[in-house]
Amino acid sequence: MRNIYAWLFVLLITLSSCHTHRKALRRQEKERARYERKNGIPHKNTTDEYIAIYKSTAIRQMKKYGIPASIILAQGILESSNGNSDLARYANNHFGIKCTNEWNGKTYIMDDDKRNECFRKYPDADASYRDHSEFLMRPRYSNLFNLRRTDYKGWAKGLKKAGYATNPKYPQLLINLIEKYDLEKYD
């Protein structure tokens, strides 16, 4: 009898989470449509504009957490497509950070490596930058902090090695952005 109640409880939770999930997707689509109607075609940031907007935020995070500003900016550029991705525009998530068990904030659902994945949603980009820095303070990234702040190549390779991204070219993509836009000058 006890197993039946446990099974019913699990079924109830599963059904309610599916319903909640579908509701969240519909709400996101409505928000997107309303935003685009209100603003017309959204402005697309260039990489230079993105750097101009967020370099001070990246430098502030570097000073507080010790993560090179060049790495922060390159990750933001790459992960958010210069702030133009749906995740950046509708969830203020500039780093592609997914929901984890300890995440209690708002969420944004979209397809990524898998269908309907849960991403963190922030009230503004500054909160995304702060959470990214705090995310990198986890033990799995601790070896990065043994590197010099000016060793952006080591940081790029270390992020991949620690499992930040699944793309095997991730380190080179970051390094190319840093060198093309002289982001190391912010370190």
Dump pLDDT digits (tens) for 161-186. Answer: 999 998 999 999 999 999 999 999 99
Which tops the pLDDT comparison, 55 or 22? 55
Q: Say whether both 92 and 170 belong to one domain.
A: yes
The more confident residue out of 162 and 34 is 162
Residue 16 pLDDT > 60? no
Provide the percentage of residues in the chain whose pLDDT is more than 70.
Answer: 78
- Indicate if 56 and 4 belong to the same structural domain: no
The answer to whether residues 34 and 59 belong to one domain is no
- On whether both 25 and 101 belong to a single domain, the answer is no
Same domain, 109 and 161: yes
Residues 6+ apart with CB under 8 A from 113: 166
pLDDT at 47 over 80: yes
Grade residue 79 by pLDDT with cuts at 50, 70 and 90: very high
**Same-domain status, 164 and 125:** yes
Based on the fold, state whether residues 2 and 77 are members of the same structural domain: no
- The pLDDT assigned to 34 comes to 64
- Structural domain span for residue 137: 43-186
Query: Who contacts 126 (Cβ-Cβ below 8 Å, separation ≥6)?
Result: 57
pLDDT value at residue 59 = 97
Is the same domain home to 67 and 4? Answer: no
Confidence of residue 9 (pLDDT cuts 50, 70, 90): low
Are residues 95 and 158 located together in one domain of the fold?
yes
Task: Give me the sign of the Cα torsion angle 167, 168, 171, 176.
Answer: negative
Domain tally, the chain: 2
The answer on 165 and 84 residing in a single domain is yes
pLDDT at position 183: 98
Separation of alpha carbons 20 and 12, rounded Å? 12
Both 7 and 82 in a single domain?
no
Q: Kindly report the pTM of this predicted structure.
A: 0.77
Q: What average pLDDT does range 31-54 have in this prediction?
A: 78
> Is the distance from CB of 99 to CB of 109 less than 8 angstroms?
no
pLDDT, residue 43, reads 74
- Give pLDDT tens digits for 92-124: 999 999 999 989 999 999 998 889 999 999 999
